[in-house]
Amino acid sequence: MPYQAEISRENPTCFLFVIDQSGSMDEITETGRSKAAFVADVLNKTLYTLVTNCSKADGVRNYFDLGVIAYGGSEVISGFGGVLSGDIVHPIHAISEHTLRVEERRKKMDDGAGGVIELKTKFPVWFDPKSAGGTPMRAALSKTIETVAHWCESHPGSYPPTILHVTDGQSTDGAPEEMADGLRQISTKDGQTLLFNLHVNTGGGLEIVFPISETGLNDEYSRMLFRMSSPLPAHLAKFAGDKGYAIADGSRGFIFNGDPQCIVDFFEIGTRPKLVADR
Amino acid sequence: MSYQAEISRASPTAILMVMDQSTSMNHRLKSGQSKAAFLADVLNKTLYTIITNCSKADGVRDYFHVGVVAYGGEDAGNGFQGALGGEALHVVSRLAEAPLRVETRTKKVAGLNGDVMEQSVRFPIWFEPRSHGKTSMCAGLNAAIDVLGEWCAAHPSAFPPTVLHVTDGHPSDGNPEPMADRLKSLATADGGCLLFNLHVDVGQGEPMIFPNDERAIKDRFGKTLFRMSSLLPPHALEAAARKGYDIRPGARGFVFNAGIEAIADFFDIGTRPAVAADR
């Protein structure tokens, strides 16, 4: 049975975020902010959550190797800045030490007695939003393959890498499907690389969440993204079901036309580690 | 000029909350609480605030008659239980005497340097959260018409009643607009009954607060709720402006897509005693 490997400091797993930064990501969502800014917030929050989950009394434990691949225009680069920008993948301990900056955000919270309290919270930022140029998805997935192949070679017994790919449009440098196929075939002893695809919405259109087949997907583009996506392993399918999504056997890690709530859930479900052994 | 009548013990006004208790109210807000639970908290706090505002050295002055209509499933009923469950409206001093129970809540308060402190507070409960069945909105509004028709007849010169209607969904028992029109046509010599509508959502979308233009609302049911809502009278305009809302001429007592902050403000602004004359 694949996707059973214990995640530990000896055998960490890898999360790679592949983020579309093409020009259309500047469109404003119903949150009042651009898709690029909203996705960046969710990604930063996800990284912070993963850091928090690895923080024990003795420090941040390296259960995860994390990387961000950003693509837009003619570029495919690390989404990290500063000292992290040299490599794509870094152990979470290094991530925790090298934020771009820590912002102070205001957050409204239920005060527990029928009121609302405004709190100042620290919001670490690793990744800044950008939106310019075309959508070189093929080049981005090619870079992902290179990164993942290298990682799997040095971690043959680990839980395989999980790729969360976020895009809002069609590839402008050729069909990405064969790249996705190649990516999913890279494996460890515990199974194939997981590729989950999130297509973010620009307005209107019903979202399609974790579908089990191409039926109901109206155009060739969405059907291709479906084919590019891995089925959800059992523990993630269960977690998505607990969140209220309709999940069936064979549900793919794929959301089409995702609204802001879907974006949040996609990141949360996609980065849910199966188990962390040496807590 | 309407909405100028003095509110006094001799000439009280009425405040009626109409609460949607359909199944979808069990969806969780970003804060983790269900919509039903948070709304019940805000409602209970609002009742407590009304009592506090009416409390003078000589006791609780009956400036208000207060009631709650709850709907869900097939019908609508009294939102109060126990000693208050018989009548639809109660004077404030009666309300003060008969909460269902008094809970001790841990309330979060902001400390000096932005950290959170916890405080034990007494929290009286009159209204319990529930979420069951369909959205019988027409039944809920009809119940309000019955209660307030009678009240207006008995108080022909009083400040007219205020209805705060809270819902998260589409009515399952027909078009509520004619009921809203009837409700608003109930009147005293000081003006028509005020109907304010609060639409609650769990999503990430920005709330639309006191809009003045139906065209700004995309959702069809949102448009209906807009038309159902009274223009904000002067005292509510003032309270809304004091809270920092950008109020335009023609603003309605309507909030669409409210999160926790907008919910709390809606209750606060909607129940602001106009002028408690004989303070």
Angle between helices A220-228 and A177-185 (to 10 degrees): 10
pLDDT band at B278 (very low <50, low <70, confident <90, very high): very low
* Residue B31 to residue A109, Cβ atoms within 8 A: yes
What pairing do the DSSP bridges indicate for beta strands B13-20 and B64-72? parallel
Torsion over CA: A213, A217, A220, A226 (sign): negative
Whether the predicted pLDDT of A141 surpasses 60 = yes
- Write the pLDDT tens digit of every residue in A12-66: 999 999 999 999 999 887 777 899 999 999 999 999 999 999 998 889 999 999 9
Residue A142, amino acid: S
Torsion over CA: A112, A114, A119, A124 (sign): positive
Q: What is the DSSP letter of B231?
A: B
Establish, for the pair of chains A and B, how many residue pairs have beta carbons separated by less than 8 Å: 67
The pLDDT value given to residue A203: 62
Q: Where are the beta strands (DSSP E) in B112-230?
A: 116-125, 162-167, 187-188, 191-192, 194-200, 208-209
Q: Global pTM?
A: 0.72
The length of chain B is 279
Whether the predicted pLDDT of A200 surpasses 60 = yes
Does residue B206 belong to the interface with chain A, where contact is any CB pair within 8 Å?
yes
Place of tokens 């993942």: A148
* Nearest by CB: A115 against B45, B204, B205: B45
The pLDDT value given to residue B28: 83
Q: What percent of chain A has pLDDT over 90?
A: 71
pLDDT band at A120 (very low <50, low <70, confident <90, very high): confident
* Nearest by CB: A117 against B109, B202, B203: B109
- Write the pLDDT tens digit of every residue in A236-266: 999 999 888 999 999 999 999 888 888 899 9
Whether the predicted pLDDT of B17 surpasses 90 = yes
A30 contacts in B (CB within 8 Å)? 203-206
Q: Taking all residues of chain B, what is their mean pLDDT, rounded to a whole number? A: 91
pLDDT band at B27 (very low <50, low <70, confident <90, very high): confident
Angle between helices A137-154 and A177-185 (to 10 degrees): 10
Whether the predicted pLDDT of A274 surpasses 70 = no
B31, B81 Cβ separation under 8 angstroms: no
Does residue B204 belong to the interface with chain A, where contact is any CB pair within 8 Å?
yes
- Write the pLDDT tens digit of every residue in B220-251: 899 999 999 999 998 899 899 988 898 999 99
**Separation in Å, CA of B125 to nearest CA in chain A:** 11
A265 CB contacts (<8 Å, ≥6 apart)? A240, A243, A245
A117 contacts in B (CB within 8 Å)? 108-110, 116
pLDDT band at A204 (very low <50, low <70, confident <90, very high): low
* Residue B204 to residue A31, Cβ atoms within 8 A: yes
The pLDDT value given to residue B202: 63
Q: What percent of chain B has pLDDT over 90?
A: 71
Mutate to test the interface with B, among A39, A104, A111, A123 (most CBs of B within 10 A): A111
Q: What angle do CA A215, A244, B105 make, to 5 degrees?
A: 165
- Run of H or E including B6: none
Query: What gap in Å lies between CA B268 and CA B273, rounded to an integer?
Result: 10
3-state SS class at B72: strand
- Write the pLDDT tens digit of every residue in B156-189: 999 999 999 999 988 999 999 999 999 999 999 9
3-state SS class at A178: helix
Helices (H), chain A: 35-54, 92-97, 137-154, 177-185, 220-228, 234-242, 260-270
B110 contacts in A (CB within 8 Å)? 117-119
First-to-last alpha carbon distance for chain B, in angstroms, is 23
Whether the predicted pLDDT of A279 surpasses 70 = no
Query: What gap in Å lies between CA B5 and CA B199, rounded to an integer?
Result: 29
Q: What is the DSSP letter of B73?
A: T
Does residue B110 belong to the interface with chain A, where contact is any CB pair within 8 Å?
yes
Place of tokens 């002893």: A189
Does residue A118 belong to the interface with chain B, where contact is any CB pair within 8 Å?
yes
3-state SS class at B196: strand
* Residue B204 to residue A114, Cβ atoms within 8 A: no
A260 contacts in B (CB within 8 Å)? 203-205
3-state SS class at B258: strand
- Write the pLDDT tens digit of every residue in B66-106: 999 999 998 899 999 999 999 999 999 999 999 999 999 99
Q: How large is the average pLDDT for residues A221-227?
A: 94
pLDDT band at A202 (very low <50, low <70, confident <90, very high): low
Tally of CB atoms within 10 A around A15: 23
Whether the predicted pLDDT of B273 surpasses 70 = no
